[in-house]
Structure 1
Amino acid sequence: MADIAIIVPTLRRPESLGRALRSLFAQTGVADRVSAIVVVDNDPVGSAAATVEALRTRSPWPLTCVHAPHPGVATARNAGLAATGAPLIAFLDDDEAAAPGWLAALLKAQAATGADVIFGPITGRAPDAAPWLRAHMERFFGREGPDRTQLINRPFGCGNSLMVRATALPGPAPFDPGADQAGGEDDALFAALSARGGRFGWAADAWVEEFAPAHRATLNYALARAFAYGQGPSQTAAAARDWPGVARWMAIGAAQAAVWGAVSAALTVIASPRRAEMYDRTARGVGKLLWMKGFEPRFYGAREVARLDGAKV
């Protein structure tokens, strides 16, 4: 029974998109399960169509390209969902490449755990990072979890995931377009799912590689993302009007910023490569403190289009 659609949002990454799609065409053990691969072209000028057309005859399943011209990560995910009625949805980012057994491992884990959302491990690749920074960047873009398939008590991000549509993706547009520019649309989705009693699972064998493009394989980008990740818990508590929770996360953030900031300073003096990890922890602490509107970094949507167009961002 063809009951799974794979959604791949993309924005002006033709080579990376081609790599992602070729990895999907090579999936094993799922020939009768996939109903479609849905590429969501989030470029206002629709630049992904040529890549999709060039690879269409190589796809073992229907390959659809949906144009979502308003740039934004949540809008792109919603557009992909609108293009399919499949009851199971797998997400692969356009900078990822899946191992041949990736989708089969996600499905096996979902059947074994009954989880509403399944996540898998990611091997980060950052070939363009500075030598002293590369190990940190590859950990940053990677994802680690338990060494066996099981239920887990916290979610990860949408990239490399399988979701049960009826429970994890309610309504026609489950991702909040308000997160189009800064991201975090998956954090909000999973927080709401957890509040409804939803369950998360881990597929230990569902491997993908994530390739950081050169402009993201930098310390500035990693720290901006770390700051945004740090904002997440405080923002989630604020959205629920859990003001004691906000105060608790801010206190935790203040302690993290003070302790890891001091360690960062010491490691900077001796030029230790470990300083990148301490910078990251410090940034996450500061993010918990400065969670309010006006402090959110912008990574996606119009900002990314402007960067690709060579405009000031």
Structure 2
Amino acid sequence: MARIDICICTFRRPFLAETLRSIAALERGAHDVRVVIADNDETPSAREMVDGLAAEMPVPLLYVHAPAANICIARNACLDAAEADFVAFVDDDEVVTPGWLLALYDRAQATGAAAVLGPVRAIYRDDAPGWMRSGDFHSTLPVLVDGTIRTGYTCNVLIRWTERFRGLRFNLALGKTGGEDTHFFYRLTGRGGTIDYALQAVVEEPVPAERATMAWLVQRRLRFGQTHGMLISAPALRALPVVGAKIVFCCLMTGLTAFSPVLRRRNWLRAVLHIGVAGGIIGMRQAEHYGRPAAS
């Protein structure tokens, strides 16, 4: 039996109730599970909802008020409150599938990995563009480089919370721009931790109308690229010619695949990602994305 703390950071998002109800339906085996909710709003706006749902939950809830409008403050509050052998993170706009937690845990035990990622399956609205639904541009999967997962994400992960990693925290300087999870997992692997993947550990994320646009996807890829560029080891400037070549190649492929609504956009987003990497290398200022009222 293991102790597992499931951590959720929230900021004015009513969908949190659906996330908690999905956790209530989890298969837990013999594990000792607790849910930690860190409210990142200036006022404890989620407390009433959490208190109201506590009676429905088969596992204990711990509410933590962690102001304000900086996602890393909330993530770190979860880690400060964690007392378990493992810490899991999911987002407050996701629902977990019944076998999610056990799939993550079983993979961690089978591989000895410090962190295990699961897939985030995008659920599109009926009015989402056809090319978007066909290309599935919003689902999240780990990225393998030479067969290895070098960094991760906090929208679906289980972390082995041992002494080697307990000192890790999220970088407050990235708490409004994003990229804090990428930075965190680079540091985890820097301490000798490995990252694995559990295909069956699925969470689902409805895609709201405001995210079902090419502009949102471009903004997201640019931010991802900037974060990776910022984290490139010195001398980073030597990487610029390679990054520039990748930008040119992806732009050419965008033109060559202009006939395909999916491939054209996919290649352009790859170009944008590498443009972001170049921006990160030269110190381009990142836009702030966190701390805005969430859509219901």
TM-score (norm 1): 0.85
Matched, 1:247 2:238: yes
Residue aligning to 1:92: 90
> Aligned to 1:274, what secondary structure does the other structure show?
helix
Residue aligning to 1:311: none
**In structure 2, how many angstroms separate the alpha carbons of the residues matched to 1:98 and 1:80?**
19
* Matched-pair contact (CA < 8 Å) for 1:30–1:103: no
- Taking a change above 3 Å as real, the CA distance of residues 144 and 196 of structure 1, as seen in their structure-2 partners, is closer
* Matched-pair contact (CA < 8 Å) for 2:225–2:277: yes
> Aligned to 2:41, what secondary structure does the other structure show?
coil
Matched, 1:235 2:230: yes
State the identity %. 32
Unaligned ranges ≥5, structure 1: 309-313
**In structure 2, how many angstroms separate the alpha carbons of the residues matched to 1:122 and 1:68?**
26
- The CA RMSD over aligned residues, in Å, is 2.3
Q: CA deviation at 1:195?
A: 2.0
**In structure 2, how many angstroms separate the alpha carbons of the residues matched to 1:169 and 1:11?**
26
Residue aligning to 2:157: 161
Unaligned ranges ≥5, structure 2: none
Q: How does 1:245-284 map to 2 (within 5 A)?
A: 245-248=236-239, 250-268=240-258, 270=259, 272-284=261-273
Q: CA deviation at 1:13?
A: 1.4
Q: How does 1:140-179 map to 2 (within 5 A)?
A: 140-143=138-141, 152-166=148-162, 169-171=165-167, 174-179=169-174
Residue aligning to 1:28: 27
- Taking a change above 3 Å as real, the CA distance of residues 47 and 165 of structure 1, as seen in their structure-2 partners, is same
Q: How does 1:47-66 map to 2 (within 5 A)?
A: 47-66=45-64
Write out per-residue CA displacement over residues 17-40 of structure 1, whole angstroms, 9 at most, x where no aligned residue.
Answer: 111111111111335321x10111
**In structure 2, how many angstroms separate the alpha carbons of the residues matched to 1:278 and 1:93?**
28
> How many residues matched?
291
**In structure 2, how many angstroms separate the alpha carbons of the residues matched to 1:100 and 1:152?**
28
Q: CA deviation at 1:184?
A: 1.1
- The amino acid that maps onto 1:11 is F
> Aligned to 1:297, what secondary structure does the other structure show?
coil
- The amino acid that maps onto 2:140 is G
Q: CA deviation at 1:259?
A: 1.7
> Aligned to 2:131, what secondary structure does the other structure show?
coil
* Equivalent position to 1:197, from 184, 192, 209: 192
